[in-house]
């Protein structure tokens, strides 16, 4: 009986994780106010505070150490089996340890990230009107974004932080730049207190060049409550990526919502490179949608894009083209499956749904109704 109870205890975390996965989507208000605003923060705030003390990426270290660690554990198990006089008992103990680790990891994942997929939608929380908009609304939004990017670029050039017609490059150390990722959130959390969180460190990944071949530019690792940023991507994109990952650590799981908060926080930042990044990345999403909806209006939009903006867009295209590979295809497929399993049928295409939120916000601003 003791053995049965002992094994049952091992799977309790897994059962709780399964209950979260199947039940929380049915109770978004409970998820919002008990999990996302309660348990999530109770766990992640102290963990994130500790891991943020370390400037290097623990996630990166784990990835690098994963293979030798796995080999070490396998060798240790084999040696233990050879020395053991009760091999069945030794094997069961090892299996039990693996099961307990997986079980606890599943629950930790759900409480530190997975459950947030099932909280109330951001458009509800921010009272954004995401009803279908016209192509004219989309075009006007693109013009607003292009003008915003142009103004931020002009400010960067006036401060001698960028050169006209050339690709943008940081004037500060990357560690300094990443400390600015949460600046814009100071403004928006006044209106959206549920996004409040301590300032968790954004961490540059040293192996970013190799990581680029996966097509991933940033990652929130819930087990360390750690925001990881690919610093091999063009500099103008990095602030947006850092702000996106910050949204994850603030309790937002949906990718389109994190993209929106990255945009919204960046354009409220006191740092022009962040405002530029926010407007530029939002412009890319919305102009791509415009090109599919009305090619004539897309061509008309080009008059609002200056030479410096074109240089950065070209640099981003070159970056993507230089890293296309089978690895990227596999990575995209895995990411698509992962997001779909969370109950997001669009998978990786959910990132593009940010246009609905951006257009809604820009239309609200034009009407004087700020979200």
Q: Are 168 and 236 in contact (CB under 8 A)?
A: yes
The beta-strand segments (E) located in 180-322 are 202-205, 218-221, 226-230
Distance between CA atoms of residues 190 and 192, nearest Å:
6
Instruction: Give the CA distances from residue 79 to residues 68, 89, 91, 93, 332, in Å, rounded to whole numbers and listed in that order.
Output: 16, 14, 12, 14, 39
Distance between CA atoms of residues 74 and 325, nearest Å:
32
Distance between CA atoms of residues 109 and 294, nearest Å:
42
* pLDDT, position 369: 45
Q: What is the percent of the chain with per-residue pLDDT over 90, rounded to a whole number? A: 73
Distance between CA atoms of residues 77 and 289, nearest Å:
54
* pLDDT, position 199: 80
* pLDDT, position 347: 55
Number of H helices, E strands in the chain: 17, 3
- The stretches in the chain having pLDDT less than 70 are 1-2, 4, 331-332, 334-339, 341, 343-352, 365-371
| Angle, alpha carbons 59-65-68 (nearest 5°) | 160
Phi, psi of 45 (to 5 degrees): -60, -50
3-class secondary-structure state, position 226 = strand
How do the domains of the chain map onto residue ranges?
2-118, 122-366
* pLDDT, position 132: 85
**323-56-186-31 Cα dihedral, nearest 10 degrees:** 80
Q: pTM of the full predicted structure?
A: 0.92
Distance between CA atoms of residues 232 and 8, nearest Å:
46
Task: Write out pLDDT tens, residues 165-222.
Answer: 999 999 989 999 999 999 999 999 999 999 998 888 999 999 999 999 999 999 999 9
Distance between CA atoms of residues 201 and 47, nearest Å:
12
Question: Closest Cα partner for 109 from 35, 28, 200, 7?
Answer: 35
Distance between CA atoms of residues 250 and 258, nearest Å:
10
* pLDDT, position 368: 43
Question: Closest Cα partner for 184 from 49, 277, 307?
Answer: 277
Tokens 């600046």 label which residue?
Answer: 183
* pLDDT, position 371: 47
Task: Report how far Cα 150 is from the mean position of its chain's Cα atoms.
Answer: 26
Bridge pairing between strands 218-221 and 202-205: unpaired
Distance between CA atoms of residues 206 and 212, nearest Å:
11
DSSP 201: P
Distance between CA atoms of residues 124 and 371, nearest Å:
11
Distance between CA atoms of residues 333 and 335, nearest Å:
5
Q: In what order do the strands lie in the sheet with 218-221?
A: 202-205, 226-230, 218-221
């Amino acid at each position: 009986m003791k053995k049965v109870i002992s094994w049952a205890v091992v799977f309790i975390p897994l059962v709780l994780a399964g209950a979260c996965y199947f039940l929380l989507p049915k109770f978004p208000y409970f998820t919002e106010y008990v999990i996302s605003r309660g348990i999530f923060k109770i766990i992640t705030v102290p963990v994130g505070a500790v891991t943020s003390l370390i400037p290097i990426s623990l996630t990166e270290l784990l990835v690098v150490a994963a293979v030798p660690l796995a080999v070490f554990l396998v060798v240790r198990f084999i040696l233990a089996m050879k020395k053991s006089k009760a091999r069945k008992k030794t094997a069961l103990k090892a299996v039990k340890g693996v099961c307990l680790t997986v079980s606890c990891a599943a629950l930790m994942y759900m409480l530190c990230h997975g459950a947030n997929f099932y909280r109330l939608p951001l458009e509800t929380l921010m009272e954004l009107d995401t009803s279908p908009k016209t192509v004219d609304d989309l075009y006007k939004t693109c013009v607003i974004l292009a003008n915003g990017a142009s103004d931020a670029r002009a400010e960067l050039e006036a401060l001698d932080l960028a050169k006209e017609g050339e690709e943008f490059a940081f004037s500060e150390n990357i560690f300094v730049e990443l400390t600015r990722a949460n600046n814009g959130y100071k403004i928006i959390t006044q209106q959206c207190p549920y996004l409040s969180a301590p300032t968790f460190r954004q961490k540059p990944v040293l192996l970013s060049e190799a990581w680029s071949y996966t097509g991933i530019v940033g990652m929130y690792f819930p087990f360390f409550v750690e925001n990881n940023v690919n610093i091999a991507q063009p500099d103008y994109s990095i602030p947006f990526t850092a702000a996106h990952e910050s949204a994850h650590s603030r309790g937002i799981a949906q990718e389109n919502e994190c993209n929106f908060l990255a945009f919204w926080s960046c354009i409220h930042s006191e740092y022009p490179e962040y405002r530029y990044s926010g407007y530029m990345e939002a412009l890319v999403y919305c102009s791509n949608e415009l090109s599919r909806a009305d090619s004539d209006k897309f061509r008309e939009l080009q008059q609002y894009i200056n030479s410096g903006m074109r240089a950065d867009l070209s640099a981003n295209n070159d970056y993507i083209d230089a890293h296309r590979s089978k690895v990227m295809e596999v990575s995209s497929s895995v990411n698509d499956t992962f997001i779909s399993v969370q109950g997001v049928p669009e998978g990786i295409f959910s990132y593009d749904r940010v246009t609905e939120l951006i257009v809604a916000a820009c239309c609200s601003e034009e009407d004087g109704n700020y979200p």
